[in-house]
Amino acid sequence: MTIDDRLQQHDEDVVAGLERHLRYISGIIKQKGRVILTDFSITPPQFIALQWLSESGDMTIGELSNKMFLACSTTTDLIDRMEKKELVMRVRDPNDRRVVRIHLLEKGKKIIGEVIRQRRAYLNDVLTGFSPDEVIKLSGHLAKLHQDMKKN
């Protein structure tokens, strides 16, 4: 099935509008996130690394690099700076001493928690114009879209 065939399944203007809105929403969320991060001593890539570690647990440099779409050398530099700030620490795997995992420290957990709290407060403020039912439906639709996108 070609792209044109797939677009015929739905109105092309509607699909184009959805793509544009999602792109703009993503950009606004990233920008708001950067503004929130100015209150903390971390960069956006450090925040993304902290998020992955918070959500997925300890990871190797290679695993984190893959999640962040970064070269291992770039991730190593990032982790070096985060270690100096006492946000993370390197820990040897007890089952294989050759493996080093990145572990999220309490200071990193606190920053993630506060940044996420502020981001959620921002989103909650934006959603005040929506009814509770609209918010539930939007959440359900976005969850379905996310799940379907992860499959492809």
Q: Kindly give the interhelix angle for 61-68 and 44-56, rounded to the nearest 10 degrees.
A: 120
| Rounded Cα–Cα distance for residues 54 and 16 (Å) | 34
CA-closest candidate to residue 40, choices 102, 108, 104: 108
**pLDDT at site 4:** 64
**pLDDT at site 3:** 60
**Residues 6 or more apart whose Cβ sits within 8 Å of residue 42:** 50, 82, 85, 87, 111
**pLDDT at site 123:** 94
**pLDDT at site 107:** 97
**pLDDT at site 81:** 97
**pLDDT at site 23:** 96
**pLDDT at site 66:** 96
| DSSP letter for each residue of 21-58 | HHHHHHHHHHHHHHHHHTTTT--HHHHHHHHHHHHH-S
**pLDDT at site 144:** 96
Indicate the pTM of the whole model: 0.81
pLDDT along the chain (152 residues), means of 10: 63 88 94 92 94 96 96 96 97 92 97 94 95 97 94 82
**pLDDT at site 11:** 79
Distance of CA 67 to CAs 31, 48, 130, Å?
21, 10, 33
What beta strand segments (E) does the chain contain? 88-93, 96-104
**Residues 6 or more apart whose Cβ sits within 8 Å of residue 36:** 115, 118, 119, 122
Distance of CA 89 to CAs 17, 72, 128, 144, Å?
44, 17, 40, 36
